Amino acid sequence: MAKKQQREHADGTKLIVSNRRARFDYHLDDRYEAGLVLQGTEVKSLRGGKGSLAEAWVKIDPAGEAWLMQAHIPEYEFGNRFNHDPTRPRKLLLHRRELEKLARAVGAQGVTLVPTRLYFREGKAKLELAVGRGKNVADKRQTAAKRDAQREIERALKRRR
């Protein structure tokens, strides 16, 4: 099986996983970068380019801690019986002021914290999360129509060249 290529960006980040569905389902506003508390086998799986944020969401508990829930990081294939649980809750590392600001934002009606990207920066796993407001069906149709129109424009320009 071929190893999935990680894309390195100009700012020194290596993208592991992107939640493309989030842009379709939510209006994304403020974005935050959070560190992750991971076990060793989780880091090894992520370095292999494996993981999924499709079902993931972020919870802020009453104690003032943020948790990444339902993110799937598969078991490390060369691990042993001490391998991690693939969907265990993972603690997010944020500054206290950021946590308070996010807790106030989530308190508003219809607002949620959506994980958008998982990447390595300077060798440390980071999660980008955004404050999202759910889209309704009409908004989703409009997003799809814009995307299709942009594709048509690009095709026409490509044919013209």
Q: What is the pLDDT of residues 65-76, one digit of tens each?
A: 999 999 999 988
Residue 159 lies in a domain: no
**Which domain covers residue 110, as residue numbers?**
9-135
Q: How confident is the model at residue 5 (pLDDT cuts 50, 70, 90)?
A: low
- Can you give the CATH number for the domain in which 42 is found? 2.40.280.10
Summarised one tens digit per residue, pLDDT across range 29-57 is 899 999 999 988 888 889 988 899 998 99
Number of domains, the chain: 1
> Within the chain, what is the greatest distance between any pair of CA atoms?
59
Which neighbouring-strand residues pair with 47? Answer: none
pTM: 0.78
